[in-house]
Structures are given as structure tokens and as C-alpha cells.
Amino acid sequence: MAAAWAEGGTKSAAPRGGTGPSPGVFEQLGSVADTVLYEGYLLYPYRRSSTKNRVRWQFGVLFPRDWVEADGPVTPGVSGSADSWYQQTECLLRVRQPGSARVRVRVRHLQMQRKQVQEAGHRPVESLRTGDGTVHLTFDEALPRECEVEVPLDELLRGAHTFAVGAAAGEDVETLPEGAGRVVRTREELRAETTVTVDRLSDDLCRIRVRTTNTAPAPPPRTTRDEALRRALIATHTLLGGDGAEFVSLIDPPAGLEASVRACRNEFTFPVLGGEAGDTGPVVLSAPIILPDHPQVAPESPGDLHDAAEIDEILTLRTMLLTDEEKREARATDPRAAAILDRVDTMPQEVFERLHGAVRSLTPATPTAPADRPAWWQEGADDGLSPASDTVLVDGVPLGGGSRVRLRPRGRGADAQDMFLAGRTAEVAAVFHDVDGSVHLAVTLDDDPAAELNNWYGRFHYFRPDELEPLGPAGFPDEPSAPAPAAAPARHTSDSETPAAEAE
């Protein structure tokens, strides 16, 4: 077993032979992991005085248990935006090299650092301007921390492996010019541990569990969240790699593994595959922010803006429009804000133009229009189409405006919101033909109190024909009195269990 600590940046385990993630694969995924690490760290307009920069650290925050549960136990779920004292990842591992397979686990997080500005005489102040005009502001910063362990798979099958995670306390003092004062940066000790457990499900299939818990002593119960953050792991996330083994997608698993995927319990985090596209891969990123498999940072993005939910071009334009006074405050707030301003102010025109957008998903179009019908962009392409009166055959039944149906969204490829509607009954409002030749039916839910209003506005739910089950008219005797439940295991489930695809 090999373990390594790193006080900042990224560190890889030594390369080994066999199927698995080379250090380069971890580092390729590291750009996404760094985005997770600093998501929401500091939001536009990057000033301390901005309201949205007064409530920080919203993802993957692990507090001491007694403090976070002072008013009751935490509620497990995959959302990492809820404060907790632990984080648990479960996923499936396929063994490709029995006897020599190894598992690598890297836990990453931020450690809060209090930056206190002091004037001459060491008196704390909120701001201080030195003789050269530079402004220094009291503010909370954070430093990246990580710990990595590598363990033979056979050893994990014999028993759990626990290793320490955290960071030491510390203090750094920066003297300001001409005796104007100083900046003192202090950090409290972080104590946590990570336990790695592996259970064999079959000869070549295992379930791996990685659970990180904050073990630090709790501050007094009425301590404010800002103060309690000093003992918290922030933006906690986990990278898993396999040498001689590969991980299985929990979003789109290989055939035959759906039941095993559904049994995985992920709490305050969710794992996705890294590396090249496919339903298995050599590396996993388990993050407190829900991501797709194989996440990537857009190559056009020149640097982190700490708001991955926003658009680089918009944030760049808005940052350019900050006044000189606003920019001075942002630079004094945090070095990362200063770096953003430097990058934006010196951005070459060709780099800025790349932010406008890119198309990556175009595929050759297959003609679908009948030979006697013009292409969709030509005049007359819509002739003969009437959404209100057109019908489409489903199980031999023509469905059109007024038809009643039960919703059966597909297990794979369905919109996430549609999955919540499985088993509900609805009425078809119209049949629409897309420009690519596919057909969608617009429906309104029977039990939606706003159905009439939505119908008037033209706001519908859209489903493909193969996602609908024809029903008789309202009150038809053969219709079940209650919606049929979607396929699911006959046991209690919670929202921390993997939202895997239903068996098809």
C-alpha cells in the first residue's frame, strides 16, 4: 500500500503496468476536478462587498458531526449542496486482472484560511491602504489539500482500509511596506478519515465504497456557520482509479448490471466516469455537483471564472465593464479575483472570439422527408400537417388530440424531469413532426391543476410515441384506478440510491 500527502496542487501515484489510469488520465480529469474544487469560490463581480460573496462554500462541505447535527440528523441524498459530516461514494468495479488489480483513491478539498489585515500595532482592521495606494482587505481564502492512497484490490477484499485526511493548522505573516501593518493568514487543523471498502458481487464484479468523514471536535453548538467552516472540509470530492480494473457507469450501465447499479448508495456526492466515452472506464470523479459521464472543460475556456454554471463569454464581458474602483476592490479581495481581472484585461481578440460558441454535435443528416414532400427548409414543407388533428399509431391505436395516455418515459435517454412523470395519465393536445422526421406528442397531465392554463399558453410535456401507453376515454372500465408504478425493486429506496436506468 502506498499513500501520499500533497499540501496543494495535484500529485499522482507512481505509474504501474496493466489496464488502468496513467497519471496523465488523472490529470486530464484534474481540470474538471479543479473546477469542482473552486466552483462558487468567488462569484462575479468578485468583490468582498457583493452580497453573494458574503455566503460562501455551498458544495461538498463536511462539518464536525456534532455541530452539523445539533438540530437533527442530516438527510442523505446525492445532492452535495447540503451540509453534512460525511460523504459516501459507491460504484461498481470490473476486475480485468485478478490477483494484480489495484485501486487508487485521491480525496481533495479546500481548507479555509482567514486573512486578517492588521494596521501598525497589530490592531485588526477590515481594510488598509498602504503608501503605494494598494488596498488590503480582510477576507476568507482557501487552500487546496489532497491525500492519495493506493491499495491492492485483494487486500481490500479481505478488509476495509482507512487513512487519514485533513490538514495541519498554520499561520503565515506578511509584513506590509513602510511599516503600514501586516496581513496574518491563519488556519485551524482539519481532521478527517476516509475508509475504502470493497465487496465482491461476482467473480469479476465488485462494489467499492469510499466514505470520508469529518472527525474534528465540534465547535460550540451556537457557533455561526462562518466560524464552523474553519474546521470543515470544503468542496470535498474523490478521484478513483483502477489498475487492472475498470469502473462501470452508474448513469448508463452495461446491459445486465442495472440491478447492481441501483443498489449503489451515493450520499452527498455522485460518481461519473472520466476518460474516453463508453459505459466503463479507468477513472471516476465523485463530486458534490451532479455531472455527466466524461465531463470536460471546454477547450475554448482560457481559465476558471469560479462559476461553471455561467457562460464564459457573458462573465468576461461583464467583468470588462467593471469600473476602475470595482476592479481595485476585487483585486484587494482575493488573489484569484486579481488573476481573473488580469486575464480578462489582457485577453487577445482571437481568444475572446472563441468564447462566442462552438458546435460539437453535428452529424450528417439522413433525409427523412417523403420523396414527394419538400425538405423542411423549403416552401410547402408544412403542407398537409395539422398538429391538432394529425394522429400517430401506438400499439395499433391512433393517438391524436384528445386521446388519453399513460406516460412511460424510457429508462435510457429520457429527460430527467420526465422520469418523475412515469405512470401518470395525460391527454394528448397535439402531434408534432420535427425537422429531422421524428414525431413527438404534446400532452397535459390529468392531475395538473394548471392543465387548462398551460394548454391555453401552449405549454406542454413532450413524449415520443414509444413512451406512451394508449388508454380509453376518461372513466373507461378497463383503466386501472391508480397509475401503475414504474418498474423498481420491491424494497424501500431513498434518494441517495443511484438513479440508474430502469431495465428495458
Q: What is the pLDDT of residue 416?
A: 73
**Which pLDDT tens digit goes with each residue over 7-54?**
443 333 333 334 444 555 677 688 899 999 999 899 999 999 998 888
What pLDDT is recorded for position 346?
A: 93
Straight-line distance from the first to the last Cα atom of the chain, in angstroms, rounded to the nearest whole number: 41
pLDDT of 410 reads 80
pLDDT, position 249: 95
Asked if residues 323 and 331 have their Cβ atoms less than 8 Å apart, the reply is no
Least confident of 157-166, 413-422, 488-497: 488-497
Residue 308 predicted with pLDDT over 80: no
| pLDDT for res 379 | 76
Average pLDDT over residues 428-437: 86
Rounded CA separation 421/127 (Å):
54
In DSSP terms, 182 is beta-bridged to: 118, 175
Whether the pLDDT of residue 495 is over 70: the answer is: no
Separation in Å, CA 47 to CA 37, 333, 425 = 20, 6, 50
Q: How many Å apart are CA 246 and CA 95, to the nearest integer?
A: 7
Residue percentage of the chain with pLDDT more than 90: 62
57: left (phi over 0), alpha (psi -120 to 50) or beta: left
User: According to the model, what pLDDT value does residue 485 have?
Assistant: 43
pLDDT value, residue 433: 86
Across 279-293, 358-372, 463-477, the highest mean pLDDT is recorded for 279-293
pLDDT of res. 419 = 83
Least confident of 70-79, 88-97, 235-244: 70-79
User: In this predicted model, what pLDDT tens digit does every residue of 316-329 receive, in sequence order?
Assistant: 999 999 999 999 99
pLDDT in tens, 334-352: 999 999 999 999 999 999 8
- The contacts of residue 392 (CB under 8 Å, 6+ apart) are 398, 399, 400, 431, 439, 441, 465
DSSP state of 233: B
- Which of 30-34, 307-311, 314-318, 422-426 is least confident? 307-311
pLDDT given for residue 484 in this prediction: 41
Give the whole-angstrom CA distance, residue 244 versus residue 83: 36
Nearest to 33 by CA among 328, 267, 322, 238: 238
In contact, 135 and 257? CB cutoff 8 Å: no
CA pair distance 216, 189, nearest whole angstrom? 8
Distances (CA, A) of 177 to 156, 174, 180, 183, 344: 55, 10, 6, 11, 28
Q: What local confidence, expressed as pLDDT, does residue 457 receive?
A: 83
Asked if residue 150 lies in contact with residue 23, where contact means CB atoms within 8 angstroms, the answer is no
For residue 170, the model assigns a pLDDT of 97
Nearest to 413 by CA among 438, 432, 393: 438
Residues 6+ apart with CB under 8 A from 435: 376, 377
Confidence label for 436 from pLDDT (cuts 50, 70 and 90): confident
Q: Assess whether pLDDT exceeds 90 at residue 231.
A: yes
Predicted local confidence at residue 374, as pLDDT: 67
pLDDT score, position 388: 87
Strand partners, 233: 62
pLDDT recorded at residue 304: 86
Whether the pLDDT of residue 415 is over 70: the answer is yes
Mind listing the pLDDT tens digit for each residue in 173-205?
A: 999 998 899 999 999 999 999 999 999 999 999
- Lowest-confidence segment of 3-12, 66-75, 212-221 by average pLDDT: 3-12
Residue 502's pLDDT band (cuts 50, 70, 90): very low
| Residue 211 or 409, more confident | 211
